[in-house]
A and B are shown apart, each in its own frame.
Chain A
């Protein structure tokens, strides 16, 4: 109950604060133009875009995620010993196989 009350209070409070601080509101063309993801802020979601962008993005996520494994692994490496070390080597080897594959297939070439 308290949680809900606090949550509602903060949510509503932030709204009000933003509205209040945002005075005076003067929207213009520059402010409404896309500036972050390269997309128009308000338009049809089904738009054309370059598929290569997605390929790279997916590959990036794939290899980015391995960091999520590597950090905790590095922290406890002392404790998990040689087995832990070997396990990561195997994991990375598989990853490397995938990397070699994508490289050789040309997935990393933009043109």
Chain B
């Protein structure tokens, strides 16, 4: 048997990023003391270069014996992941410096996390998918634990690590059951095997349950959400920012690759599971979020509810539904970045400023950022004319087209409940007196980007149609 040298070209962006991660690690190690912002600049530059490479080589290809896929969906998600990561870097620079975690390791770990996500996104094989997931997760565990002197952070990292390991185990178990019945790890072959074989096989079904549970954990859907509030709150805000945005895209890709790419013919079965997960998440997330006083914790519950909402699009099991979900998760990631960015903006050396009460009286002190936060919150709540509304609308539309009316009704009702806690913050900002003077943190570049971030939620409206169309064509390629 002679090994063929596979075509490396489709994977060049990943390879490049790996090299750059190593380079950043070494350069920061030896030069970091002399050039303080070296790792920062170099990381952003390498991400930008990787984006350029992806755009330049956009194609549909399969390499490494079907293990590695390139398609439009993957390219968009990767670009979004990297853009989000760049935004994370920019938002968190000052915060990190204040807490002495503005170190090369932070950037290296973030880059490897990005690499893990890219591998997940491109995976055409369950093994590679798992590998990417582990690379992402391990990087995240260490990122969360970056502040070794913070009790909360280490606790959060520990919890995430152990529960993550449990979920990984469940995922592997599920994968092995699927392997047992279909005899292959390749997703395309699994797809073919299920189509021709018996999809009602008990072991296969059990495998599906385990896989869905693991995905549910990664996304933070109820009842596998337990880690989300603790980890969101315990991590340094700069890491929460990262954790809350980019990995959601990777999880979406994982969902697509596994459930649609591999197990599409079992959609009747996973649809039901996802309905449970989604509705519980929306309900639980929205109701519990109301009671929160900590902003990060509130956003964590909001994340749970948004995940539920995004699952709704997937469970409609139509290309339109997937596209709606993809659009939703992109928009959601964008809004999350802005929201955590606002917390970073308020934080300073002495305090995390992550209580909801910290936003009181924002309007009188900083009207511009009150507006920014208003846009973000209103968009999160899904109130027209902001983009958040269009995202919700797209998902609901997909549901209605799949005739899942009652699911749509329940989802809408709960998102009305959810609007309450977003708007409460707006009320705090405009009508309440500030408790103490609000100081803004962060550099010029962060302020600009944050403002653009929020304004894009309304000024971007004319381009929505274009974005949705792209999502549609990406998902049409997939199935």
Q: Which of the residues A79, A83, A94, A105 comes within 8 Å of B5, measured between beta carbons?
A: A83
Are A97's CB and B3's CB within 8 A?
no
B residues near A104, Cβ cutoff 8 Å: 29-30
B25 within 8 A of partner (CB): yes
A residues near B6, Cβ cutoff 8 Å: 83
B22 within 8 A of partner (CB): yes
A81 within 8 A of partner (CB): yes
Are A81's CB and B30's CB within 8 A?
no
Closest chain-B Cβ to A103's Cβ sits at a distance in Å of 10
A80 within 8 A of partner (CB): yes
B residues near A80, Cβ cutoff 8 Å: 3
Are B26's CB and A81's CB within 8 A?
no
B residues near A94, Cβ cutoff 8 Å: 18, 22
A79 to B2, CA, bound (A): 6
A11 within 8 A of partner (CB): no
Are A105's CB and B3's CB within 8 A?
no
Closest chain-A Cβ to B102's Cβ sits at a distance in Å of 17
Are B22's CB and A105's CB within 8 A?
no
A46 within 8 A of partner (CB): no
**Chain B proximity mask over A60-104: 1 for CB below 8 Å, otherwise 0:** 000000000000000000011111100000000010010011001
Q: Which of the residues B1, B3, B18, B25 comes within 8 Å of A83, measured between beta carbons?
A: B3
A79 to B5, CA, bound (A): 13
**Chain A proximity mask over B409-421: 1 for CB below 8 Å, otherwise 0:** 0000000000000
Are A105's CB and B29's CB within 8 A?
yes
Contacting residues of chain B (1-56) with chain A, CB-CB under 8 angstroms: 1-6, 18, 22, 25-26, 29-30
Tally A-B pairs: CB < 8 A.
Answer: 25
Task: Using C-beta atoms within 8 Å of the partner chain, give the interface range for chain B.
Answer: 10 to 19
Are A81's CB and B29's CB within 8 A?
no
Task: Using C-beta atoms within 8 Å of the partner chain, give the interface range for chain A.
Answer: 10 to 19
A82 to B6, CA, bound (A): 12
Q: Which of the residues A79, A83, A84, A100 comes within 8 Å of B26, measured between beta carbons?
A: A100
Closest chain-B Cβ to A102's Cβ sits at a distance in Å of 10
B residues near A81, Cβ cutoff 8 Å: 2-3
Are B5's CB and A97's CB within 8 A?
no
Closest chain-A Cβ to B111's Cβ sits at a distance in Å of 13
Are B30's CB and A82's CB within 8 A?
no
A88 to B30, CA, bound (A): 26
Nearest residue (CB) in B for A87 is B3
A84 to B26, CA, bound (A): 26
Are B2's CB and A101's CB within 8 A?
no
B residues near A101, Cβ cutoff 8 Å: 25-26, 29
Closest chain-B Cβ to A29's Cβ sits at a distance in Å of 39
Are B1's CB and A97's CB within 8 A?
no
* Residue among B1, B5, B6, B30 with most chain A CB within 10 A: B5
A105 to B26, CA, bound (A): 11
Contacting residues of chain B (388-440) with chain A, CB-CB under 8 angstroms: none
B residues near A84, Cβ cutoff 8 Å: 3
Are A97's CB and B2's CB within 8 A?
no
Closest chain-A Cβ to B3's Cβ sits at a distance in Å of 5
A residues near B18, Cβ cutoff 8 Å: 94
Closest chain-A Cβ to B272's Cβ sits at a distance in Å of 40
Are A97's CB and B22's CB within 8 A?
yes
B residues near A83, Cβ cutoff 8 Å: 3-6
A residues near B3, Cβ cutoff 8 Å: 79-81, 83-84
A residues near B26, Cβ cutoff 8 Å: 97, 100-101
Are B1's CB and A79's CB within 8 A?
yes
Nearest residue (CB) in B for A79 is B1
Are B5's CB and A82's CB within 8 A?
yes
A101 to B1, CA, bound (A): 38
A residues near B29, Cβ cutoff 8 Å: 100-101, 104-105
A101 to B30, CA, bound (A): 10
A residues near B30, Cβ cutoff 8 Å: 104
A94 to B1, CA, bound (A): 28
Nearest residue (CB) in A for B15 is A90
A92 to B18, CA, bound (A): 14
A9 to B63, CA, bound (A): 53
A80 to B22, CA, bound (A): 27
Given A97-B25, A97-B26, 5 more A-B residue pairs with CB atoms under 8 Å apart are A79-B3, A80-B3, A81-B2, A83-B5, A83-B6
11 interchain pairs, CB-CB under 8 A: A79-B1, A79-B2, A79-B3, A80-B3, A81-B2, A82-B5, A94-B22, A97-B22, A97-B25, A97-B26, A105-B29
Binding site for A on B (CB under 8 A): 1-6, 18, 22, 25-26, 29-30
**A-B pairs, 7 with minimum CB distance:** A97-B22, A83-B5, A83-B3, A80-B3, A104-B29, A81-B3, A101-B25
